Structure 1
Amino acid sequence: MAVSSGQRSKVQLQLVRAFTDQPQGGNPAGVICFAQFPSPAQLQQLALQSAQPVTAMLAPADGGYQIRWFTPQQEINLCGHGTLAAAAVLFARFPEMSQVEFFSQHGDISVRKDAAGYSLCLPLFVLSAVVVDELPVAITQGQTVAAASGRDLILQLASKQQVFDYQPDFSAIRQLPWHALLVTAFDDTATNPCYVLRYFAPSIGIDEDPATGSAHCSLLPYWQAKYPKLPGQWQAQQCSAEGGEFKVRRMGDQLELTSQAVLVSATWLVAASLEIPRAC
Structure 2
Amino acid sequence: MIIQHIAAFTDGARGGNPAGVVICEALPDAATMQAMAAEIGYSETAFAAPVDGKWRVRYFAPEAEVDFCGHATIALGAALARHERSGTFALRLNRAEITVDGMSSEAEWSAAFRSPPTQTRALPAAALDEILALFGLARGDLDGRIPPVVAHAGMDHPVIALRERARLAAISYDFGQGQELAQRERFCTFALVHAETPQLFHARNPFPFGGVYEDPATGAAAAALAGYLRELAWPAEEPIVIRQGEDMGVPCCLQVDLHGPVGAPVKVSGSVRSIEA
1:139–1:173 CA contact under 8 A, matched in 2: no
Paired position in structure 2 for 1:231: 237
2:11–2:252 CA contact under 8 A, matched in 1: no
Give the deviation of 1:36 after TM superposition. 0.8
Paired position in structure 2 for 1:165: 170
Looking at structure 1, the residues matched to 84 and 99 of structure 2 have their Cα atoms a distance apart, in angstroms, of: 16
Paired position in structure 2 for 1:138: 134
Paired position in structure 1 for 2:196: 187
> Do the aligned partners of residues 90 and 168 (structure 1) sit closer, same or farther apart at CA in structure 2, a change above 3 Å counting?
same
5+ long unaligned stretches in structure 2: none
Q: Identity of aligned pairs, percent?
A: 23
2:118–2:266 CA contact under 8 A, matched in 1: no
Looking at structure 1, the residues matched to 120 and 238 of structure 2 have their Cα atoms a distance apart, in angstroms, of: 19
Stretches of 4+ aligned residues off by more than 4 angstroms: 21-24, 131-134
Q: Are positions 1:249 and 2:257 aligned together?
A: yes
List aligned pairs for 1:20-169, cutoff 5 A: 20=10, 25-95=15-85, 97-113=86-102, 117-130=110-123, 135-136=129-130, 137-139=133-135, 141-142=137-138, 143-145=141-143, 146-150=147-151, 151-169=156-174
Give the deviation of 1:63 after TM superposition. 2.3
Looking at structure 1, the residues matched to 48 and 109 of structure 2 have their Cα atoms a distance apart, in angstroms, of: 25
Looking at structure 1, the residues matched to 233 and 202 of structure 2 have their Cα atoms a distance apart, in angstroms, of: 15
2:149–2:158 CA contact under 8 A, matched in 1: yes
5+ long unaligned stretches in structure 1: 2-11, 267-280
Cα-to-partner distance string for 1:33-77 (whole Å, 9 max, x where unaligned) = 111112111111211222222111111122221111111212111
> Do the aligned partners of residues 90 and 197 (structure 1) sit closer, same or farther apart at CA in structure 2, a change above 3 Å counting?
same
TM-score, normalized by length of structure 2?
0.82
Give the deviation of 1:197 after TM superposition. 0.9
2:109–2:272 CA contact under 8 A, matched in 1: no
Cα-to-partner distance string for 1:150-173 (whole Å, 9 max, x where unaligned) = 311111110222212222332332
Number of residue pairs matched by the alignment: 252
Return the structure number with greater strand share.
1
Looking at structure 1, the residues matched to 274 and 177 of structure 2 have their Cα atoms a distance apart, in angstroms, of: 36
Looking at structure 1, the residues matched to 31 and 134 of structure 2 have their Cα atoms a distance apart, in angstroms, of: 36
Looking at structure 1, the residues matched to 96 and 237 of structure 2 have their Cα atoms a distance apart, in angstroms, of: 27
SS in 2 for 1:228: coil
Paired position in structure 2 for 1:219: 225
CA RMSD of superposed structures (Å) = 2.3
Looking at structure 1, the residues matched to 235 and 41 of structure 2 have their Cα atoms a distance apart, in angstroms, of: 44
2:189–2:208 CA contact under 8 A, matched in 1: yes
> Do the aligned partners of residues 23 and 235 (structure 1) sit closer, same or farther apart at CA in structure 2, a change above 3 Å counting?
closer
2:11–2:253 CA contact under 8 A, matched in 1: no
